[in-house]
Chains A and B, each alone.
Chain A
Amino acid sequence: MPLSRGLGRSYGDSSLPAPGDLTVAGSVRADRVLAFDPATAVLRGEAGLSLHQLIRLLLHRGFFTPVTPGTQFVTLGGMVAADVHGKNHHRDGSFGQHVLGLKLRVADGRIVECSPHQERDLFRATIGGMGLTGHILEVTVQLKRIPSPWIRCESVRLPDIDAYVAALKEAAPLWPMTVGFVDCTARGKHLGRGVLYKGRWAEPHEAPSHQPLPLRPRTVPFDLPSGLLNPLTIRAFNALGYHKHMARVRTRILHPEAYFYPLDKLLCWNRLWGSRGMTQYQCVLPDEAGPGAARRFLELLVSRHAASPVCVVKDCGPEGIGLLSFPRPGITIAVDFPVRDHTQGLIDALNEHVIKEGGRIYLAKDAFTRADHFRAMEPRLAEWETIRRRWDPEGKLRSRQSVRVLGDRAARAGVVVTSTRSRRK
């Protein structure tokens, strides 16, 4: 039974076949809406239905997904498998908390329905289970009614990471959506200076009377040289991002795509990183780590000269229902790195730091984490593995990531996956 794969936007090897397996089961042609009731806003769709399509169909009718990740090129199945979170995590939790039911094809070929009330264990293992418990076939989700299709956004510039985190925590009870970018290359008293964006759906009287037209994306036509994004240009890019925003508070009405999906404006943006590529690292530093956790993480980045053009910092609310689901109360930080020879060492160092802080990493973004590190971050892993074994005793469903991080057996004997990229040397 091959691994299922949606639109392939996870940053690491989550949707790649394990070594020796040759195929994945693509889900994107299974993209039908099977039921939608405008009265209850409940939608049932095939797992390959993309968020892009869903928005095109329902935004103008006043409905939106309860939780959206940073791209709309993601399938319903993928949103369940990674239990995606968004700018509203502190208030609405992750996607899995809005899923009313799933239809799965489990490893022995049976079709099983599960929900918070039916086959609850399978449901909990599937939300955030990276597609390793079965093929997700259908998803029933509670959509959200919105007052208008536009976003009212207030943004503010903050001088350092402590001020940024304080502003983030202050905004949490007042704004349903918060997100921001900090400059992780600035040192000293500027460490972690950034811009915080607080948003909510605009009320009808604030919003333009017309519908937002779909934005026309541009495409990066080919791989740019791998060295283009280097510490120097990344520093400049970060400084520009900070200084572009005036010191005063800025309030405006934004196009929903511009607000939620800034990266979708540039198709094939990964080519900016050249043929060696990039990796993303996202971790959550829990509240128990105490104040200053974000600062300590940024200090570690600076001390290792790990420059990232984008460093997203946001707060997380309570843990969801998914057993391997990523978010937990605390601060989450996401950074992008070019893949270089030392990247494995950098990720190892970051993981050791995150373990010390009691945090964990996001599998959908990961390409380098070692199995022992992941185990140390995930006390819930044993329970998840027990449930998974019950539904897939032979371990038929596996991915390149599950071989690397969860210690699954590869189809080809003797293969040890350390990272996706280091193989190329």
Chain B
Amino acid sequence: MKVVFIGATRGIGRALARQLAGEGDGLFLLGRDLVDLERSARDLEVHGGRTTGSVGIAACDLGAPEGFAGALDAADQGLQGGFDTVVITAGQFATQDQLEADAGLTRALLDVSFTGTVLFCEEARKRLLARGGGTLCVFSSVAGERGRKPVILYGAAKAGLSHYLEGLDHKFHAQGLRVLTVKPGFVKTSMTAGLTPPPFAGEPEAVATMVMRGLARGTPVIYAPRVWGLVMLVIRWLPRLIMRRIGF
């Protein structure tokens, strides 16, 4: 695979990019911080046993859609023959309390985690379809499964994203576009640093392993760790009366 990766510097993205590098897949990293991208690129080269400079990087901010086309052009140049897979693990996170107190933060989060991500997927989708298909693997969240008190705004952005990805899968599957929606539960990464891990909190490496399997099989929706699929099944069917009372 030749993978454009946005979000490979940290957390699950880092773990997943390492596994891809270990499998010998070509990688091109996008992100906001070029210095940090550079550090991750060197790390991935050692993980993949490759020469220095073989993992390319370019600046790209999910909050700034005008840069998407240029970034994907750079990725096409960096990966000989162009990319066939796009992975997006990047996103913005803030707790419900922080978001309720700060409308500017809420707007930024919606811009990055919904608007920007969807527009990036649109740009990538057009290019993938033009070359006969490919894989679009995007990290949504179990927070988007149902309106819940602790993740109302973050969850709304992720719900919209999941919805969009599902539609994309329905419409373009026949044309060779494989869409993977990854819905992680609580995973111990820098994103969730400072929060108290609930039961079933996952490790980024384990989630990355599940996503690798999903990429190989073309699984359309991946809950990771798997138990969150069951948890969410219950949550989806809980009556409103109960959801109003519990804090989950």
Binding site for B on A (CB under 8 A): 29, 32-36, 57, 61
Which of A29, A32, A57 interacts with B190 by CB under 8 Å?
Answer: A29
Interface residues of B, dominant DSSP = helix
CB of A33 within 8 A of CB of B190, answer: no
Q: Which among B41-49, B58-66, B222-230 touches the partner chain?
A: B41-49
Chain A residues, CB < 8 A from B217: none
CB of A33 within 8 A of CB of B46, answer: yes
Q: A32-B40, A34-B39 are in contact. Are A57 and B46 (CB under 8 A)?
A: yes
CB of B49 within 8 A of CB of A32, answer: no
Interface residue B175 (Cβ < 8 Å from any Cβ of A): no
Which of A29, A35, A61 interacts with B42 by CB under 8 Å?
Answer: A35
Of B14, B43, B47, which is in contact with the most chain A CB atoms at under 10 Å from its CB? B43
Interface residue B77 (Cβ < 8 Å from any Cβ of A): no
Interface residue B189 (Cβ < 8 Å from any Cβ of A): yes
Least distance between B54 CB and chain A CB atoms (Å): 13
Chain B: CB-nearest residue to A32: B43
Q: In whole angstroms, what is the CA distance A171 to B43 when docked?
A: 40
Chain A: CB-nearest residue to B51: A38
Q: In whole angstroms, what is the CA distance A57 to B40 when docked?
A: 15
Chain A residues, CB < 8 A from B190: 29
Q: In whole angstroms, what is the CA distance A84 to B10 when docked?
A: 29
Q: In whole angstroms, what is the CA distance A36 to B41 when docked?
A: 12
Q: In whole angstroms, what is the CA distance A156 to B10 when docked?
A: 49
Can you give 23 contacting A-B residue pairs, CB < 8 Å? A29-B10, A29-B11, A29-B189, A29-B190, A32-B14, A32-B39, A32-B40, A32-B42, A32-B43, A33-B42, A33-B43, A33-B46, A33-B47, A34-B39, A34-B42, A34-B43, A35-B42, A35-B52, A36-B42, A36-B46, A57-B46, A57-B47, A61-B49
Binding site for A on B (CB under 8 A): 10-11, 14, 39-40, 42-43, 46-47, 49, 52, 189-190
Least distance between B216 CB and chain A CB atoms (Å): 21
Chain B residues, CB < 8 A from A57: 46-47
Closest 9 CB pairs of A and B: A32-B43, A33-B46, A33-B43, A36-B46, A34-B42, A34-B39, A32-B39, A35-B42, A29-B190
Q: In whole angstroms, what is the CA distance A276 to B14 when docked?
A: 38
Least distance between B238 CB and chain A CB atoms (Å): 33
Q: In whole angstroms, what is the CA distance A58 to B190 when docked?
A: 26
Given contacts A33-B43, A61-B49, 17 further A-B contacts (CB under 8 A): A29-B11, A29-B190, A32-B14, A32-B39, A32-B40, A32-B42, A33-B42, A33-B46, A33-B47, A34-B39, A34-B42, A34-B43, A35-B42, A35-B52, A36-B42, A57-B46, A57-B47
Q: In whole angstroms, what is the CA distance A35 to B14 when docked?
A: 16
Chain B residues, CB < 8 A from A36: 42, 46
Least distance between B80 CB and chain A CB atoms (Å): 24
Least distance between A76 CB and chain B CB atoms (Å): 13
Q: In whole angstroms, what is the CA distance A36 to B44 when docked?
A: 11
Chain A residues, CB < 8 A from B47: 33, 57
Chain B: CB-nearest residue to A23: B194
Chain B residues, CB < 8 A from A34: 39, 42-43
Q: In whole angstroms, what is the CA distance A34 to B9 when docked?
A: 12
Chain A residues, CB < 8 A from B42: 32-36
Chain A residues, CB < 8 A from B52: 35
Chain A residues, CB < 8 A from B46: 33, 36, 57
Chain A residues, CB < 8 A from B39: 32, 34
Least distance between B190 CB and chain A CB atoms (Å): 6
Q: In whole angstroms, what is the CA distance A61 to B189 when docked?
A: 30
Q: In whole angstroms, what is the CA distance A411 to B38 when docked?
A: 39
Chain B residues, CB < 8 A from A33: 42-43, 46-47
Q: In whole angstroms, what is the CA distance A33 to B40 when docked?
A: 8
Q: In whole angstroms, what is the CA distance A33 to B49 when docked?
A: 12
Chain A residues, CB < 8 A from B40: 32
Chain A residues, CB < 8 A from B43: 32-34
Q: In whole angstroms, what is the CA distance A32 to B9 when docked?
A: 9
Q: In whole angstroms, what is the CA distance A36 to B47 when docked?
A: 11
Q: In whole angstroms, what is the CA distance A32 to B40 when docked?
A: 7
Chain A: CB-nearest residue to B10: A29
Of A32, A36, A57, A61, which is in contact with the most chain B CB atoms at under 10 Å from its CB? A32
Q: In whole angstroms, what is the CA distance A36 to B14 when docked?
A: 18
Chain B: CB-nearest residue to A43: B46
Chain B residues, CB < 8 A from A29: 10-11, 189-190
Least distance between A63 CB and chain B CB atoms (Å): 11
Least distance between B12 CB and chain A CB atoms (Å): 12
Q: In whole angstroms, what is the CA distance A93 to B46 when docked?
A: 27
Chain B: CB-nearest residue to A54: B46
Chain A: CB-nearest residue to B36: A32
Of B11, B49, B189, B190, which is in contact with the most chain A CB atoms at under 10 Å from its CB? B49
Chain B residues, CB < 8 A from A35: 42, 52
Least distance between A140 CB and chain B CB atoms (Å): 13
Q: In whole angstroms, what is the CA distance A8 to B204 when docked?
A: 19
Chain A residues, CB < 8 A from B10: 29
Q: In whole angstroms, what is the CA distance A399 to B101 when docked?
A: 36
Chain B residues, CB < 8 A from A61: 49
